[in-house]
Amino acid sequence: MASWLKRLGAGLSRSREKLSKLIPGNRAGEKLTDSEWQDIEDALIMADCGPELSINIVNKCKKERQDNLHQLKEHMLNVFPEVKSLNDDKKPFVLLVVGVNGTGKTTTIGKLATMYRQQGKKVLVGAADTFRAAAVEQLSVWVTRAGADIVKQAEGSDPAAVSFDTIQRGISRDYDVVIIDTAGRVQTDTSLMNELAKVHRVIQKAMPSAPHEVWHVVDAGTGQNAINQVEKFKEIAHTTGLIVTKLDGTAKGGIVLQLTHRFAIPIRYIGVGETLEDLLPFDASNFVDELLPKE
């Protein structure tokens, strides 16, 4: 088995174990009873697929002539739309990373920088979370480890100015990828939202086609609040992709389906641990396979 698939399987083990308790095992091809379907619906809701989507999926399965577990996988997969390829052929490719504090933005940027470096790309990271000196330090460590470069200014300096400098340097020094890390206290903080809007505007000023992607990092264990966060950031930061982190630490892996169902925003990567290798490109089929109990 490929090592990334093993990581995915291990990362989703908590969610899968929880679902295994309610989804009948070894009966994949058999017709299920109403009470078994009720248990499956409950299991999906508990895994954070959301009541509406869970009921929807189970109802679709029950309508089929052979209402068995194979249908479940199929209808779960149907939640995921065909994903457009990435808008990453610009030079530099400018990626803005947003999200609430503690969701894993800085860690994910470290993982992404490492991945792009391994592809032989020249990577520059902008430390636009200037709110705490420790945040810049933490980012520096990741970026250095990745073999990428960083643009930073003093604590408390203007995040938009840091972003502008980073893009300018990215252009003048011929970087392939520019990633901007941002601060993320609670989303109800109006000043944070104004700050993000300004960062977005200034990035566009520095390079009119940028940012080419805006990835919102969501902690899988956040529960329903994740929905509010995505809604809010979408308006201000014009989110183009989601990264769902900490899937290894929760039994609520169904949030990935719920987010996809609610928003027309593709999931680009998922985080399944704290090491550099624990960022995986999102693949719906593998995800659903690893989420559901093994036949």
Ligand X SMILES: Nc1nc2c(ncn2[C@@H]2O[C@H](COP(=O)(O)OP(=O)(O)O)[C@@H](O)[C@H]2O)c(=O)[nH]1
Binding site for ligand X (CB under 6 A): 99, 101-107, 184, 217, 245-246, 248-249, 271-274, 278
For residue 75 the two structure tokens come to 């209808």
- Residue 13 DSSP SS3: helix
Binding-site string for Mg ion from residue 25 to residue 64, where x marks contact by CB under 5 A and - marks none:
----------------------------------------
In the bound complex, what is the minimum distance in angstroms from residue 135's beta carbon to Mg ion?
5
Q: Is residue 108 a contact residue for Mg ion (CB under 5 A)?
A: no
User: CA 211, CA 202: separation in Å to the nearest integer?
Assistant: 10
Report the residue number, 57 or 123, with the smaller CB distance to ligand X: 123
Nearest distance from C-beta of residue 24 to Mg ion, angstroms: 43
Alpha-carbon distance of 160 to 158, in angstroms, equals 5
Could you tell me whether strands 267-271 and 279-281 are parallel, antiparallel, or unpaired per DSSP bridges?
antiparallel
Contact (Cβ atoms closer than 8 angstroms) between residue 255 and residue 220: yes
Q: With contact defined as beta carbons under 8 Å apart, do 145 and 114 qualify? A: yes
Residue 103 binds: one of ligand X, Mg ion, none (C-beta under 5 to 8 A by kind): ligand X
Radius of gyration of the chain (CA): 20
Q: Which is nearer to ligand X, 106 or 239 (CB)?
A: 106
Shortest distance, position 268 Cβ to ligand X, whole Å? 14
User: Looking at beta carbons, which residue is closest to Mg ion?
Assistant: 106
Angle at 141 between CA 216 and CA 243, to 5 degrees: 15
Report the residue from 54, 106, 245, 260 that binds Mg ion according to the rule CB under 5 A. 106
| Binding stretches for Mg ion (CB under 5 A) | 105-106, 135
